[in-house]
Chain A
Amino acid sequence: MISRRHFLQASLAASALLGPAASGQWGRLAAQQRLSQGDLLDFDTFGNVTLIHLTDLHAQTQPIWFREASVKLGAGDARGQPPHLVGADFLDHYGLEQTSAMAHALTHLEFEALGRAYGRMGGLDRIATVVNAIRADRADALLLDGGDTWHGSLPALRTKGQDMVNLMNALGVDAMTSHWEFTLGADRVDRIVSGLPFAFLGQNIFDTDWNEPVYEPYELFERGGALVAVIGQAFPYTPIANPAWMFPELSFGIREERMQAMVNEVRAHGADLVVVLSHNGFDVDRQMAARVEGIDVILTGHTHDALPEPLLVGQTLLIASGSNGKFVTRLDLDVQGGQMLGFRHRLIPVFADAIDPDPEMAALVAAERAPFADELAEVLGHTDSLLYRRGNFNGTWDDLICTALMEERDAEIALSPGVRWGPSLMPGDPITREDVFNVTAMTYGAAYRREMTGAEIHGAMEDIAENLFHPDPYFQQGGDMVRVGGLGYRIAVDKPMGERITGLSHLASGEPLDMDRAYTVAGWASVTEGTEGPQIWDVVSDFIRKAGRVSVPENETIEVVTG
């Protein structure tokens, strides 16, 4: 008899063998400038349960460019392991062909040239086509949304997330979890949740007064003769990474012991398959998978990683489905008698020029955008260089935002949050008001201006670096490194806190940053209540309107040292 572990490994090996073949096929198709919907959606239906995973959409309803990270360092044991491989290392690890469609979708390599060949990705109308096609194969497939869905665009900000709620309801979500949703405020979230036709899950969300659960921890579904439990895990550090004053009565945290208790509880209810719909971030999920017994599948989120194969931790499958609508994961499972006996997986790249828009969803999206059509379409200027954000350190979008902050707010130094959302723009693209909102929209976007001493700036950078590069994933608090303008520095990521950041220099004067002097600092996304200043999208829009054309070279003032 083949043990379960053996079967999983055999399945995984088969999946690994299929990877290069499939990508090779895409590479050939690309050479012919032809990606077909049939090829992208081709899937030999397997087992008795199908999961569809979509996460970190960040309210992106339109096809976008999205350049993946060129620097995405893992800390501790995660160094050099997926999802911290980038570029050629990523292609080698997964046997993907250079310049293939999947190479373009999953790495930053030759982004402009390959982007011109393969076109934009995402778009909720294309995602609807993918979801409908999967449901045509298996009508009761579960659609699970990993959160960061109601935030990240102009329409989502203006409608307080209502546009996304309406659209995801139309798409037919079965359960979701959350993170940025709470930046709409707890009252707004509760109002939305009270009207949701599906479960809003978070086993790790408690109230601060009574330390009691606030939302449902899990939902049970009967699918293909199996009882499927979906346990929700919201982003554990929401009150630290985002303004806690917007949801003062909520406490989060990893709450690993309760996760174990919930797994045990659903197993006691007879669950044949235990799925965790998570917004932990990949490294936290990897650690949780190794410490909590009995989870079959973790659908990861938050860190925007996309992996072409599941990663196996013990007997738990970790699935990473990317962000911003670039990918939809289909996972077919054979579940019998309380055991996951096998799987078939595909990370479906949503190439917008190859996949037909679903007409019904396209009409719904257009209706949600119509009230804001004029403002969305306003052209502020043009870019002559690639604008992107994703990565551990300053991207070109971040450098543009920092420059706008320093110029428009007359500051010596700028700070911009290390968030992972925000699509890219190609050289030559117009920069619209929509594009600026796509990289700045939030409910706490006031651009503050204040004085900080060099020592305060250094201290803040050390603190944030510790949140990013702590070797224990459970201590990693949230986003990437704070983006800085007007500053150069060296970061030794593997040093302890207080010793990572050296060589801080004030670029305008060429002098070392004076620890005792006060500098004028402009920034945005402060988590402090009552922060004052113009909204960041207006600051950036004003700067681009005046500049007309912008060109932002790759940042060369940050030196990253490992080891």
Chain B
Amino acid sequence: MKISRRRILAVGSAGLVVTLLPLPASAATEADELIARFTDGATPGEGPLTITAPQIAENGNAVGVEVECPGAKSIRILAPANPNPEVCTVHFGPLAGSHRLSTRIRMAETMDVIALAEMEDGSFVQASARVRVTIGGCGG
């Protein structure tokens, strides 16, 4: 997989720390449980968190997802219907110039991709985006 230039730039300027959290394949945890574990049980609110993803994936093996959340300490991306639903967690240091990440994720099927951000005050915000994975063809 190629790393996009934007991602390289983001890494270079913001000093991101990317932690991948693999789970056993059998642990296809429900989205709510996943969220609760990340938030330590707190219910996430709404905030300045935006998630940008295609409505329909052109290629389910590499779906571009961009998440931005000014003021976030960390952002986590979840793909609840994947065998391994935790995609990544990105921590932003105090020198981070922007609080944005862009990556490509593999998606098993149509689902709501979830972004969770932990804010400076310890509160959590959540946003999701529906991404459809289809067999294609029949093109008009």
Residues 50 to 76 of chain B near chain A (Cβ within 8 Å): 52, 54-59, 64
A561 contacts B by Cβ under 8 Å: no
Q: Once the chains bind, are A460 and B134 in contact (CB under 8 Å)? A: no
CA distance A467 to B134 in the complex (A): 8
- Segment of A34-42, A403-411, A416-424 in the binding face: A416-424
B5 contacts A by Cβ under 8 Å: yes
Binary per-residue interface labels of chain A (465-488) against chain B in the complex, 1 for a CB within 8 Å, 0 otherwise: 011001010110111111000000
Q: Once the chains bind, are A244 and B58 in contact (CB under 8 Å)? A: yes
Q: Once the chains bind, are A252 and B138 in contact (CB under 8 Å)? A: no
Q: Once the chains bind, are A241 and B132 in contact (CB under 8 Å)? A: no
Residues 509 to 530 of chain A near chain B (Cβ within 8 Å): 525-527
B122 contacts A by Cβ under 8 Å: no
> Which of B4, B6, B55, B138 has the most CB atoms of chain A within a 10 A radius of its CB?
B138
With A209-B2, A211-B4, A211-B64: A417-B139 Cβ-Cβ less than 8 Å? yes
With A210-B5, A281-B140, A420-B140: A475-B135 Cβ-Cβ less than 8 Å? no
Residues 219 to 272 of chain A near chain B (Cβ within 8 Å): 235, 237-242, 244, 251-254, 257
The smallest beta-carbon distance between A27 and chain B, in angstroms, is: 33
The smallest beta-carbon distance between B85 and chain A, in angstroms, is: 21
Q: Once the chains bind, are B139 and A241 in contact (CB under 8 Å)? A: yes
CA distance A180 to B54 in the complex (A): 21
Q: Once the chains bind, are A478 and B138 in contact (CB under 8 Å)? A: yes
Residues of chain A contacted by B134 (CB below 8 angstroms): 240, 463, 466-467, 477
The smallest beta-carbon distance between B62 and chain A, in angstroms, is: 8
Residues of chain B contacted by A61 (CB below 8 angstroms): none
Residues of chain B contacted by A242 (CB below 8 angstroms): 139
Q: Once the chains bind, are A211 and B137 in contact (CB under 8 Å)? A: no
Residues 1 to 23 of chain B near chain A (Cβ within 8 Å): 2, 4-6
CA distance A526 to B138 in the complex (A): 9
Binary per-residue interface labels of chain A (254-297) against chain B in the complex, 1 for a CB within 8 Å, 0 otherwise: 10010000000000000000000000010000000000000000
A389 contacts B by Cβ under 8 Å: no
B94 contacts A by Cβ under 8 Å: no
CA distance A418 to B139 in the complex (A): 7
Residues of chain B contacted by A209 (CB below 8 angstroms): 2, 4
**Which residue of B4, B5, B140 contacts A478 across the interface (Cβ within 8 Å)?**
B140
A464 contacts B by Cβ under 8 Å: yes
Q: Once the chains bind, are A244 and B135 in contact (CB under 8 Å)? A: no
**Which residue of B2, B6, B56, B130 contacts A477 across the interface (Cβ within 8 Å)?**
B56
Residues of chain A contacted by B58 (CB below 8 angstroms): 237, 239-240, 244, 251-253
Residues of chain A contacted by B5 (CB below 8 angstroms): 210-211
CA distance A482 to B130 in the complex (A): 24
Chain A, residue nearest B62 (CB): A208
The smallest beta-carbon distance between A444 and chain B, in angstroms, is: 10
With A251-B58, A477-B56: A241-B2 Cβ-Cβ less than 8 Å? no
Chain A, residue nearest B5 (CB): A210
**Given A257-B52, A464-B137, A479-B139, 19 additional A-B pairs, CB 8 A:** A180-B139, A210-B5, A211-B4, A211-B6, A211-B64, A238-B139, A240-B57, A240-B139, A241-B137, A242-B139, A253-B54, A417-B139, A419-B139, A419-B140, A460-B135, A464-B135, A466-B132, A479-B138, A527-B136
Contact surface of A with B, Cβ cutoff 8 Å: 179-180, 209-211, 235, 237-242, 244, 251-254, 257, 281, 302-303, 417-420, 460, 463-464, 466-467, 470, 472, 474-475, 477-482, 525-527
| 19 interchain pairs, CB-CB under 8 A | A210-B5, A211-B6, A235-B140, A237-B139, A238-B139, A240-B134, A240-B139, A254-B55, A303-B140, A419-B139, A466-B134, A475-B55, A475-B130, A477-B136, A478-B138, A478-B140, A526-B137, A527-B136, A527-B137
